[in-house]
Structure 1
């Protein structure tokens, strides 16, 4: 009998180490549980896809086998970026799909991102799959299997809608992730000249890790921008649902500032629309959205929480600091780094000075994402304790929708529990360096009061 390790059932997905906590037998069982849940929701067909990881083909076969055993039709779109799988669930009208991906995790990881009946499974819905397996509450039947090439439909849907005002020369770094099989071709079809960096799909990631939220992973892109006539750099994570942006002079435009440009663009056509952003985002974002005629909505971090909030509010645009951008205007509302790149190029192709436009977005002094590494479960306990005991004299507001976001007149500090690893995530932003240091000292004080042995990264 297969043993299903509890730790692989995460907040947003199922994820484990290949050959240890994630084997073909485990994936096959989870596939049957997913198919059982799909049938319980009245769905009879599920699309599956996989990223470029070396374990992908074996695990995809196991996933298909498990789904078919539950009695559902499996439509396999092959090696695709995660957003292409999401697109396929709309195009093929299944509204259900499973993406086999390790995203930006190390090469020995893989996992499952699951959409059923239009809902991205997260939290209790992921745990419900585990409970199904433990109780043997599994549907059985004789499902079917077929393959489908979704590539042209995806390209045609975007090129039929997104129009550049002029030809642009860009550099694209896919870090050997699966986005390399889509991004260069997409942007060429939109009318760009593309300089390719590490666009050959290779699950060993031989050049650098495919995670554009880490500045070191953008060094190659910066170098190409400095030594070529490319006017903009785009970078993608391992499965293509997150976008990184680098200017001609090497500055990183972080996703919360990307969202400002997208908000200005979307609100120009949809005055009064809501724009959602996560608690890690810059404090310049809300006033910017209001100034452009929109309504800002702060939300918990996590792509499944953002999607749920979009459904609840009817928002046309959302984004989070990690690089997930969600367009509901002219698109489907799921996070798609490739499509976000296309919309950015459309907007910038209308500007006289691309670099100047990007530099003109309001900025502040800020830290990257910092982490306090802890033992399993300690991250949640520490945040709960801080929410109950921490006091911040001089703060204008303490927001507790996701950890503690403490707003001051000249900056903010954030401490929240990661939902994927046993760490507390910290981020600080201020008008100037002295204010940043003052806010950090306030957090140092309350964290060490709550946990004197905490190893602080600042």
Structure 2
């Protein structure tokens, strides 16, 4: 068994197979998961990686040895697993390493109703129980059965977004050889959509490009195909299809903040006066637009555990992150890139203009994108930046998550990576010149140029 401290992350379990994550480890995780959750039954799903089936089978052995029944949903996206957990009211385990390279795999775990399990909500207990040794179960073993939940998932999503009556759309989808190639066809069935598929073949070696659409180079094929085909929109999913990035009809990348604002307006129209959660790296346009539409913007730290916890505490109807994770109260407070995509398609198809025109109101500022700097000491570098900006007229500083510095027409956030010697910079301003000046000044201080 590998080093558990290395593969147990803040929100999930992830490592190289088999050096760090093997069948023995997966079996122990299954046993400990049942013990910690007290589950009498669990539901599992897996992505297209070659190691996913054997790892999920090993997990099932561990779970059934503890007396729990295992319902295997088979191939699915992470949000399909959340659907399964919610509709069946069972704890769940998704076998995926999301956008990581082919040699990786992992598990995303949740309690009944898709309630997240992270470092502070069960992952640490599971790891510690494995390290001590999971006690043997003295009763009968559980059973393993298979259940096809894909159609139910697709049908459920379409009850949450009304696409009846929209104009016909040409939509390019880049699945990146990930699970979007499995889930998009049944979701789009029956909709007024002409689908142009890119890389729908399930292949965990990712032969065309990384299934990580947050990196602009992984969107180039989608951008080119949208322009080539004259499509109305392009959608790109990551490996486990829980995140969705959008490209407009010109082939230009749409920021996840603009999508957050658009979906927020739609949800506020259905649920007036509701709270909308956004992390502190989303555009300043998001809280402005939420307030303008009668909602209450709620700012949180970066990370899905903070978003989900805050949504549950406030009863927020929707939450969005800069990383293209989108969370819905009507979807058990869980994230679904597919559900966000349906909202965008409904908004686009419900009017006659192009997507770029529709989104003009939601993209008010110029973002830098996330820029990483390798530093010897994260705290020392951040302190240099704090000292440089402290005391400047009209400048505010807060430390909810890293260092956030702002003025009337610009802001930036500098956050340390949890796993690498990096500082991550996100900046935004009212115009390109101001953004570039702030970005370059901060980077020069961080990198001591």
Residue deviations 1:242-285, cap 9 Å, x none? 01000010111111110111111111222211111112111121
2:87 equivalent among 91, 116, 125 = 91
Residue deviations 1:402-456, cap 9 Å, x none? 11111121111111123455432211111123322442355346535xxx5xxx8
Q: Which moved more, 1:123-132 or 1:79-88?
A: 123-132
**Does 1:336 find its partner at 2:331?**
no
2:275 and 2:298 in contact (8 A); partners too: yes
**Does 1:76 find its partner at 2:72?**
yes
Q: Which moved more, 1:113-122 or 1:306-315?
A: 113-122
Change (3 A) 1:445 1:230: closer
Shift, 1:56, TM fit: 0.8
2-structure distance, mates of 1:281, 1:348: 22
1:159 and 1:189 in contact (8 A); partners too: no
Mapping of residues 207-222 of structure 1, within 5 Å: 207-222=208-223
2:4 and 2:127 in contact (8 A); partners too: no
Mapping of residues 105-184 of structure 1, within 5 Å: 105-118=100-113, 119-124=115-120, 125-138=122-135, 140=137, 141=139, 142-164=141-163, 165-184=166-185
2:382 and 2:446 in contact (8 A); partners too: no
Three-state SS of the structure 2 residue aligned to 1:339 is: helix
2:2 and 2:20 in contact (8 A); partners too: no
Mapping of residues 266-305 of structure 1, within 5 Å: 266-305=267-306
Three-state SS of the structure 2 residue aligned to 1:195 is: strand
Partner of residue 253, structure 1:
254
2:28 and 2:130 in contact (8 A); partners too: yes
Change (3 A) 1:4 1:153: same
Change (3 A) 1:168 1:242: same
Where in structure 2 are there 5+ consecutive unaligned residues? none
Shift, 1:136, TM fit: 2.1
2:2 and 2:21 in contact (8 A); partners too: no
Q: Which moved more, 1:236-245 or 1:434-443?
A: 434-443
**Does 1:324 find its partner at 2:320?**
no
1:383 and 1:415 in contact (8 A); partners too: no
2:42 and 2:68 in contact (8 A); partners too: yes
2-structure distance, mates of 1:348, 1:388: 42
2-structure distance, mates of 1:346, 1:107: 34
Shift, 1:389, TM fit: 6.4
**Does 1:392 find its partner at 2:357?**
no
2-structure distance, mates of 1:244, 1:254: 8
Q: Which moved more, 1:248-257 or 1:238-247?
A: 248-257
Partner of residue 237, structure 2:
236
Aligned-pair Cα RMSD in Å? 2.1
Three-state SS of the structure 1 residue aligned to 2:362 is: coil
Partner of residue 57, structure 1:
53
1-structure distance, mates of 2:411, 2:185: 38
Partner of residue 353, structure 2:
353
Three-state SS of the structure 2 residue aligned to 1:182 is: helix
Change (3 A) 1:170 1:437: closer
1:187 and 1:342 in contact (8 A); partners too: no
Shift, 1:160, TM fit: 3.6
1:387 and 1:403 in contact (8 A); partners too: no
1-structure distance, mates of 2:28, 2:385: 39
1:11 and 1:420 in contact (8 A); partners too: no
Aligned length: 441
1:371 and 1:423 in contact (8 A); partners too: yes
2-structure distance, mates of 1:388, 1:28: 47
